[in-house]
Amino acid sequence: MRAAGELTAAALAETRRLLAPGATPLELDAAAERVIRDGGGIPNFQLVPGYRHTLCVSVDDDVVHGIPGDRPFRAGDIVSVDGGAELDGWNGDSAFTVVLPDVARPDVVASREELSRVTEQALWVGIAALARASHLNDVGAEIEDFVRGEGAYGILTDYVGHGIGRSMHEEPPVFNYRVDRRGPAVKPGLVVAIEPMIVAGSIDTFTRDDDWTVTTSDGADAAHWEHSVAVHAGGIWVLTAPDGGAAGLAPFGIRPAPIG
């Protein structure tokens, strides 16, 4: 799965390079598809029945599953980009959030950047928890404890992470919050996509008329970060991070172990 993860990371890196005021989600979508197909892969989002795009691009109060359109990004937007690649029958899945600069609204930008920071850090808290966990649901407990300590943020409960392998979405679920069961044992061979989705207000959401885009009911901002992570005999490796997760895990005193 390393190659699928590396291709996913390359596609998202290209979209991040292009993400700026005036660019459109459809332009990012085309760029990501180009990188994946040039790398010999298939955009695995296109394998989901009824979905024809390479990415999901969610702006401001849209949390996840935003369909790329032609409305240009604007200064100050908070933008979450989610995508994945299938290569040689294996899958990668990852997401990031960016806040576009806006000198006219520094307070809005600062608030949105803090939301993105908390969400990204929640992701790394979850990955670090996976490295130490005996059971998978320890991950969600540590994510919840971290987020609750950062302020009045909401953790979506209707949407969670997942196993990943021959298919993009597999068992088991990966919760971003504490549940009353321990979940499966964490052992070599487990590969999961950890993806906290954090909002600045209520966790209540609705799905827009396009039947895909999930949006906060109160109009609050949202952020989404995700990595695919493998557990193996030597430790863990973040498949969709170019450095295997070394930089993100360093503050926790954890060093990812290369596979093989």
Specify whether the CB–CB gap between 77 and 60 falls below 8 A: yes
Asked whether the CA dihedral 141, 143, 149, 154 is positive or negative, the reply is negative
Give domain status of residue 62, yes or no. yes
Give domain status of residue 260, yes or no. no
Give domain status of residue 141, yes or no. yes
Give domain status of residue 144, yes or no. yes
CA distance linking residue 59 with residue 81, whole number of Å = 9
pLDDT value at position 260?
Answer: 78
Which are the contacts of 200, defined by CB distance < 8 A and separation ≥ 6? 111, 115, 153, 154, 220, 221, 222
162, two tokens:
């997942």
Specify whether the CB–CB gap between 233 and 258 falls below 8 A: no
Domain containing residue 199: CATH number: 3.90.230.10
Specify whether the CB–CB gap between 222 and 214 falls below 8 A: no
Number of folded domains that form the chain: 1
Residue 171: what are its φ and ψ, rounded to 5°? -70, 155
Specify whether the CB–CB gap between 108 and 76 falls below 8 A: yes
Residues in the chain: 260
pLDDT value at position 124?
Answer: 98
Give domain status of residue 92, yes or no. yes
Provide the residue range defining the domain that includes 31: 2-252
Query: Nearest-CA neighbor of 54 among 72, 73, 68?
Result: 68
Question: In tens digits, what is the pLDDT along the chain, a chain of 260 residues?
Answer: 999 999 999 999 999 999 999 999 999 999 999 999 999 999 999 999 999 999 999 999 999 999 999 999 999 999 999 999 999 999 999 999 999 999 999 999 999 999 999 999 999 999 999 999 999 999 999 999 999 999 999 999 999 999 999 999 999 999 999 999 999 999 999 999 999 999 999 999 999 999 999 999 999 999 999 999 999 999 999 999 999 999 999 999 999 999 97
pLDDT value at position 181?
Answer: 95
Give domain status of residue 257, yes or no. no
pLDDT value at position 220?
Answer: 98
Return the residue matching tokens 């908070």.
78
SS (H, E, C) 182-240: CCCECCCCCEEEECCEEECCCCCEEECCCCCCEEECCCCCEEECEEEEEEECCEEEECC
Q: What is the pTM of this model?
A: 0.97
- Strand partners for 236: 231
Give domain status of residue 106, yes or no. yes
CA distance linking residue 240 with residue 227, whole number of Å = 6
Give domain status of residue 79, yes or no. yes
Residue 145: what are its φ and ψ, rounded to 5°? -60, -40
CA distance linking residue 165 with residue 139, whole number of Å = 19
Query: Nearest-CA neighbor of 168 among 188, 191, 148, 147?
Result: 191
